[in-house]
Chain A
Amino acid sequence: MGQIILNQVRKTFGDVEVIPPLDLTINDGEFCVFVGPSGCGKSTLLRLIAGLEDVTSGDISIDGQSATELPPAKRGLAMVFQSYALYPHMSVRKNIAFPLRMAGLPKDEIEKRVTNAASVLNLTDYLDRRPGQLSGGQRQRVAIGRAIVREPAAFLFDEPLSNLDAALRVGMRLEISELHKRLSTTMIYVTHDQVEAMTMADKIVVLRAGNIEQVGSPLELYKAPRNTFVAGFIGSPKMNFIQGEQASALGADTIGIRPEHIDVSDTQGQWSGRVGVSEHLGSDTFIHVHDTGLGDTITVRAAGEVDFKHGDTIHLTPRADQIHKFDAQGLRI
């Protein structure tokens, strides 16, 4: 069991309120991702749950029991840090065994669990090495190994992939997702990368300045963002926002249309503009269109290769059913 409930949790550092009173429920077995720009309080929120920071007021309960006053060690949670935070003076074996040693488990039980974790994570050949002799990906796996041997109520991940190169990141993302499927343990994952959030999460919590902007499944957030902040943050490339005449014609202050929901043509369309930079990804082409009379540059995502050159005139047609409307406060209409 690993249900985590935050009730009116608030955190201040001196006079600065980093987390205004906040409620959140993370269900047992759920993969919950906290996402938001730097400094939005997502790591602080994770550290509050971990017990590495004290809450200023409010209550955190884990498994139906209040954990607000418990030290980190007593909360039954395991954490994977951004820097991995491995013990540099211990071998991989001792690193993974450390939490079990602290729990006072018998030696043969520790050995069994370490061997087991090492084989799950492909670390068997590295058990006698020091962390300094491992690659980034291997270190990450040791950190995960150290977390899983304890069989915690929930895993906490603090931007665990941000120190890895792009290729490794995709691989580790899959590994963590698979681990979640296999263990069905609650996981809370902090990241600033919305792609990680979209691909891994059961539930995404979008944070801005300590406030929860929206909670929902990846597709809910994609299809029905509650405000312009969530709309702009979720999805890549970013949603296009248009104000003025076009918006008021639809009874909104701002309208948003995702790059993949605009059809392009070289003969006719609702809007027209001049092609700026095209980014060719092979599977898609991102075209940045200027001089549309809509204010900002409009980004369009066209499937496959399209034959537009810099300076060409291009016609754009947004799909009417995919237009998001927002009021003057930026809230969804």
Chain B
Amino acid sequence: MARAVSSRRKSINTALAWGIGLIIFFPILWTILTSFKTEGQAIADPPVFLFFDWTLENYSIVQDRSDYMRYLWNSVIIAGGSTLLGIIIAVPAAWSMAFVPSKRTKDILMWMLSTKMLPAVGVLYPIYLLFIKLGLLDSLFGLVIVLMLINLPIIIWMLYTYFKEIPGEILEAARMDGASLKSEILYVLTPMAIPGIASTILLNVILAWNEAFWTLNLTAAKAGPLTAFIASYSSPEGLFYAKLSAASTMAIAPILILGWFSQKQLVRGLTFGAVK
């Protein structure tokens, strides 16, 4: 028998869920609202919520002052490039861990994950020096490499989990059918893991898009992505909340829209195999 849930209980739950959802979303909503205020209203006390003079002035000023499209393009290259490169490296790695594990596979997985436990600033100095030596400072190539390496453990972990769900017999059948290792991965494993690979790509694009520590520290004017674009409006010289909000809104809009359209895929991918 299904558990009976009274309609009153149901509406309380719904209200509660909406409440929590709104609390989580509120900072983003506030940023978006502030971006349409004047600088004066943005710092008004008490704060104004909806009833202010709506203006697009901040957006035009921001657009005048800095080249949004260039930052956007850099973000696309860095997020897309690092994810693509990561997937190319992670698929064979996850394949070997899932299907030909050794005694040390679990340890390697843990070790890879442990690199994520290190505060990023701990390795800033050596990486910065490396970048100077290699001439990679403020270059898109350098950032693609660094962000790929930063997210690689997560990509491998996710793919490993998805690959574990695929019965080994199917890959053995492919081997019996004459498939080379390349064909086995390309024609059998990858198509079967598409839902998992898609959500891994999505999640990593989002992570790379929002990554601020490395992108801010390793870039200047040339290779700066949208995070640098936002940061350039939070200068210590003055408080320009409205303009900062406009810049933020412009920076998060693409990823917000991407996330909105792909949320089904994302949730499905993240819970894939959780219930057998």
Contacts and interface: CB of A to CB of B under 8 A. Distances in A.
Interface string A131-170: 0000000000000001000100000000000000000000
A52 B191 CA distance: 22
A81 B188 contact: no
A47 to B, nearest CB: 8
Contacts of A83: 167, 169
B192 A79 contact: no
A87 interface: yes
Given A79-B173, A81-B172, A73 B188 contact: no
Interface residues of B, number: 18
A73 B178 contact: yes
Contact of A85 (B167, B180, B183, B187): B167
B176 interface: yes
Interface of B: 167, 169-170, 172-180, 183, 187-188, 191-192, 194
Given A52-B172, A87-B188, A99 B177 contact: yes
A233 B187 CA distance: 43
26 contacts: A50-B176, A71-B175, A72-B175, A73-B175, A73-B177, A73-B178, A78-B176, A79-B172, A79-B173, A81-B169, A83-B167, A85-B172, A86-B170, A87-B170, A87-B173, A87-B174, A87-B192, A89-B192, A89-B194, A98-B177, A98-B187, A99-B177, A102-B177, A102-B178, A102-B183, A103-B178
The 9 closest A-B pairs by CB, nearest first: A99-B177, A85-B173, A102-B178, A73-B178, A85-B169, A79-B176, A89-B191, A72-B175, A85-B170
A73 B180 contact: yes
A198 interface: no
A87 B177 CA distance: 11
Contacts of A85: 167, 169-170, 172-173
Per DSSP, chain B at the interface is helix
A73 B179 contact: yes
Nearest to B171: A85
**Mostly helix, strand, loop or mixed at chain A's interface?**
loop
Nearest to A146: B177
A77 interface: yes
B191 to A, nearest CB: 5
Contacts of A99: 177-178
Interface residues of A, number: 22
B47 to A, nearest CB: 54
A89 B187 CA distance: 10
Contacts of B177: 73, 78, 98-99, 102, 146, 150
A103 B187 CA distance: 14
Contacts of B180: 73, 102
Interface in A46-89: 50, 52, 71-73, 77-79, 81-83, 85-89
A227 B160 CA distance: 48
Contacts of B172: 52, 72, 79, 81, 85
Contacts of B191: 89
A77 B167 CA distance: 21
> B177, B188, B192: which has the most chain A beta carbons within 10 Å?
B177
Contact of B192 (A82, A88, A98): A88
A72 B192 contact: no
Nearest to B170: A85
A38 to B, nearest CB: 18
Interface in A88-110: 88-89, 98-99, 102-103
A81 B180 CA distance: 19
Contact of B176 (A72, A86, A87, A89): A72
A102 B179 contact: yes
Interface string A14-27: 00000000000000
Nearest to B179: A102
Nearest to A73: B178
A114 to B, nearest CB: 13
Nearest to B176: A79
Contacts of A72: 172, 175-176
B152 to A, nearest CB: 27
A75 B175 CA distance: 11
B276 to A, nearest CB: 15
Contacts of A78: 176-177
Contacts of A79: 172-173, 176
B141 to A, nearest CB: 35
Interface string A189-228: 0000000000000000000000000000000000000000
A160 B170 CA distance: 14
A50 B177 CA distance: 11
Contact of A98 (B167, B169, B174, B194): B174
A9 to B, nearest CB: 19
Nearest to B167: A83
Given A73-B175, A89-B191, A102-B180, 19 more contacts: A52-B175, A71-B175, A72-B175, A73-B176, A73-B177, A73-B179, A78-B177, A79-B173, A81-B169, A83-B167, A85-B170, A85-B173, A86-B173, A87-B173, A87-B174, A88-B170, A89-B194, A102-B179, A102-B183
